Structure 1
Amino acid sequence: MNKFRYAFMVLLGGAMYGTMSSFVKQSYAKGYHAAEIAFYQAFIAALLLGGYSLFTLSGTDYRKMTSKSGGFLLLAGGCIGLTNFLYYQSVSYISASLAIVILMQFTWISMLLEWLFFRKKPGAVECITVAFILAGTVLAGELTHANVFSVSWKGIVLALATSFTYALYIVANSRMGKEVKWQMKSTVIMLGSSSLIFLVNLRTIVAGNYLNQEFLLWAIFLAVAGTTIPTALFSVGIPKIGAGTSAILMTVEFPVAVLCAYVVLGEALNIVQIIGIAIMLVAITAMNYVKLRVTNRVIPFS
């Protein structure tokens, strides 16, 4: 049942990520932008995780971090940093619901990357599940011909780039730093994330005049709920269950994001979208049920 626990961690982390687009879009109404929000969110998360590491890890734990594993984890952090920054930019051009629909393409992209670079061919259960998930995203996102050509193409391109960097992060996280304690692993990932966001947006972040109590409250909330806790959950869970299954479980981010956009932002939610969300949730549940039956109560996620 340990595998189930790790799967639940990934599922919970994905659900927490799903709430972020709505709250970030709310912060835009306060005059803030993707660059400063994404940077301070990652930077504060790095400080929180680093502080926790100092109190919970020993010298032996720190010595397990080699220069090679540390470098790869920094790169993984750069991927998730770009993911957050590009995603936050995309929701300034398109609806939070459509942005998350496009982001969901990370499901098959991560499986494709695993297959291309590590020869890990997805099984029949995973392929069928992805097919149902993609069908569900089309319904839930109402991706009709008229809708697609009436929205901002800049927002769509940004969201597509997000799905690719997210897939890279999942694959990298599943393969790197397995010998490193999750506290240290999460800290290094967030250092990589905040560093790359800072470098990409150096002029905007340095020249900005936005640091006040309200902004810091927004940044701390997003850092804790949208970065610190999910990153820790992913750092523990993803290496245990693998990139392919993690990508499928993390699609829970989509229905959560759509429902949160409906509740927080007042975005439309109709019966077709609800059916699409239901298809996705049933597909995820069925995949895990089949694996549970096949292995007689042991879930072989990798």
Structure 2
Amino acid sequence: MKDQFIGGFLVFLGACSFGVLSSIVKTAYHAGYTLGEVTGVQCFFGMLMLWGLHLIFRTRHKTKDSVSNNTPKTKKWKLCIVGIFPGLVGICYYQCVQLVPASIAIILLMQYLWISVIIDFVVFKNRPSKLQLLAVIVIIAGSCLAAGIFNNEIRLNLKGCAFGFLAALMYTLFISTSSKIGNELPKLEKSALMITGACIITFLIFPPLFFFKLNISDQIYQLGLLLALLGTVIPPFLFSVGIPKIGISLSAILSAAELPVAVMSSYFYLKESVYGIQWLGVIIILFAIALPNLKHIKKSI
């Protein structure tokens, strides 16, 4: 019971960590920094941190790693290619954050929940259950409320919404590919290889010339370090420790904490307007996330 509590708490903290990213990005934009600078600095710092942690961990556990050298390992370049997807998630999502309120941007990103069901059926031929289909319908309905489609006081930027859906699609592709590739590698090495791929695609789209223009004391480096910690390093580590203790079903529910945390952060920190109908939409989405997992949780109790 103690392990389950600790595992659940770690997953919850990881989700909360993800939830504050959009508010930090908004802060960077308000300070005058660009999309390329924000994504580039986050990826660069994240890559340095993960490789540093991997090298430290490998040095301390060298004897354990040598035992599994005979097992076939995924080509490292494949994981770098998979890293293209989280790189594009960051670019599309942060562009969305620039054009729409942070509370709406996170809702658009959460559409990966139903997009993943469609891709799982079309690509992997896994037919969704009736409960999953019901959850998809509820998520779409809740998203319409949460995004304020029926509220005349909210003006949605169509370009921003398009980038939000692109981010959701890229996130779905990332989940689908990363869950099937490189699982035999140490978690830190796998994460470091993927963030390297994300860094490469980010620098190809936004050449990092800003490194030569900015002063080391610029605020973007402080914000980038924070984004790397809260978005690239801490959540994957907490999830890798917590999820095995409580299982995927309960983890899916607890990780949904990202949504209300992002909305509350935008409301209290950024002072963005969040209407009652949007809060209702958030509650409906959280219910839809929990719905397909309830029967699995009852079995484990």
Q: Which bin holds the TM-score, normalised by the shorter protein?
A: 0.7 to 0.9
Cα RMSD for the two superposed structures: 3.2
Q: Are residue 214 (structure 1) and residue 186 (structure 2) matched?
A: no
User: Offset at 1:270?
Assistant: 2.5
Secondary structure (helix, strand or coil) at the match of 1:278 reads: helix
Whether the 8 Å contact between 1:18 and 1:257 is mirrored in structure 2 is yes
User: Offset at 1:139?
Assistant: 1.7
Secondary structure (helix, strand or coil) at the match of 1:180 reads: coil
Which residue of the partner structure matches residue 300 of structure 1?
A: none
Which residue of the partner structure matches residue 228 of structure 1?
A: 233
Which residue of the partner structure matches residue 51 of structure 1?
A: 52
Relative to structure 1, the CA distance from residue 158 to residue 142 in structure 2 (aligned partners, 3 Å threshold; closer, same or farther) is same
Q: TM-score, normalised by structure 2?
A: 0.83
Following the alignment from structure 1 to structure 2, what is the Cα–Cα distance between the partners of residues 10 and 123? 26
Relative to structure 1, the CA distance from residue 159 to residue 282 in structure 2 (aligned partners, 3 Å threshold; closer, same or farther) is closer
Show CA shifts across 1:240-292 (max 9, x none). 967x9977765443222111110111111232222222222333344433212
Relative to structure 1, the CA distance from residue 22 to residue 34 in structure 2 (aligned partners, 3 Å threshold; closer, same or farther) is same
Consecutive unaligned residues of structure 1, counting only runs of 5 or more, are 298-302
Following the alignment from structure 1 to structure 2, what is the Cα–Cα distance between the partners of residues 238 and 116? 27
Secondary structure (helix, strand or coil) at the match of 2:137 reads: helix
Relative to structure 1, the CA distance from residue 134 to residue 264 in structure 2 (aligned partners, 3 Å threshold; closer, same or farther) is same
Secondary structure (helix, strand or coil) at the match of 2:23 reads: helix
Which residue of the partner structure matches residue 196 of structure 1?
A: 201
Identity, in percent, stands at 31
Following the alignment from structure 2 to structure 1, what is the Cα–Cα distance between the partners of residues 205 and 131? 40
Residue 27 of structure 1 aligns to which amino acid in structure 2? A
Following the alignment from structure 1 to structure 2, what is the Cα–Cα distance between the partners of residues 61 and 220? 35
Q: TM-score, normalised by structure 1?
A: 0.83
Whether the 8 Å contact between 1:53 and 1:183 is mirrored in structure 2 is yes
User: Offset at 1:13?
Assistant: 3.4
Following the alignment from structure 2 to structure 1, what is the Cα–Cα distance between the partners of residues 44 and 68? 21
Consecutive unaligned residues of structure 2, counting only runs of 5 or more, are none
Q: Are residue 108 (structure 1) and residue 125 (structure 2) matched?
A: no
User: Offset at 1:145?
Assistant: 7.6
User: Offset at 1:88?
Assistant: 0.9
Show CA shifts across 1:140-159 (max 9, x none). 221228578x4322212211
Following the alignment from structure 2 to structure 1, what is the Cα–Cα distance between the partners of residues 208 and 43? 18
Following the alignment from structure 1 to structure 2, what is the Cα–Cα distance between the partners of residues 30 and 198? 22
Residue 72 of structure 1 aligns to which amino acid in structure 2? K
Following the alignment from structure 2 to structure 1, what is the Cα–Cα distance between the partners of residues 285 and 222? 34
Q: What is the total number of aligned residue pairs between the two structures? A: 294
Of 122-131 and 152-161, more deviation after overlay is shown by: 122-131
Relative to structure 1, the CA distance from residue 37 to residue 159 in structure 2 (aligned partners, 3 Å threshold; closer, same or farther) is same
Alignment counterpart, residue 137 of structure 1, candidates 139, 143, 152: 143
Secondary structure (helix, strand or coil) at the match of 1:92 reads: helix
Alignment counterpart, residue 131 of structure 2, candidates 112, 116, 125: 125
